[in-house]
Amino acid sequence: MAARKEPMKIVYGPIISPCLGKAIAVDPIGRHPKACSFNCVYCRLGSHGIMLHERAVFIEDDIMLEQIGECEHGDDCCGVLFKGTGDPFLASNIFSAARKIKEASSKKVGVMTNCSLLGQPEVLKELDAFDVIIVKLDAATEGTFQMVNRPHPSISFSDVLSGIREARLSFHGSFRMRVTLVRENLHEMGEISRICREMCPDYLYLNLPELCDPSHQVSKREAQAAWEKFNDIPCISQSDM
Alpha-carbon dihedral 124, 128, 130, 135, rounded to 10 degrees: 40
Task: List the one residue from 31, 34, 55, 178 that touches ligand SF4 (CB under 6 A).
Answer: 34
205 binds ligand SF4 (CB under 6 A): no
Task: List the one residue from 10, 19, 24, 40 that touches ligand SF4 (CB under 6 A).
Answer: 40
Nearer to ligand SF4, 29 or 97 (CB): 29
Nearer to ligand SF4, 107 or 136 (CB): 136
d(CA 123, CA 158): 17
230 binds ligand SF4 (CB under 6 A): no
8 A C-beta contact, residue 108 and residue 84: no
x-or-dash string of contact with ligand SF4, 45-64, rule CB under 6 A: x-------------------
Residues of span 99-138 touching ligand SF4 by CB under 6 A: 114
Amino acid at 30: G
Q: What is the C-alpha end-to-end distance of the chain, expressed in Å?
A: 49
Nearer to ligand SF4, 180 or 193 (CB): 180
Residues binding ligand SF4: number (CB under 6 A):
10
From the list 31-39, 69-77, 186-194, 212-220, the region that binds ligand SF4 by CB under 6 A is: 31-39
Reduced to 3 states (helix: H, G, I; strand: E, B; else coil), residue 82 is strand
- Residue 203 C-beta: closest distance to ligand SF4, Å: 19
Task: List the one residue from 20, 43, 140, 164 that touches ligand SF4 (CB under 6 A).
Answer: 43
- Residue 105 C-beta: closest distance to ligand SF4, Å: 26
13 binds ligand SF4 (CB under 6 A): no
Residue 52, exposed/middle/buried by CB under 10 A (0-12, 13-18, 19+)?
middle
Instruction: Give Rg (Cα) of the chain.
Output: 18
Cross-strand bridge partners of residue 205:
178, 236
- Residue 43 C-beta: closest distance to ligand SF4, Å: 3
- Residue 90 C-beta: closest distance to ligand SF4, Å: 9
How many Cβ atoms sit within 10 Å of the Cβ of residue 229?
Answer: 16
Instruction: Estimate the crossing angle of helix 61-70 against helix 94-104, to 10 degrees.
Output: 40
Pairing of strands 108-113, 132-136: parallel
Reduced to 3 states (helix: H, G, I; strand: E, B; else coil), residue 5 is coil
- Enumerate binding residues for ligand SF4 (CB under 6 A): 34, 36, 38-40, 43, 45, 86-87, 114
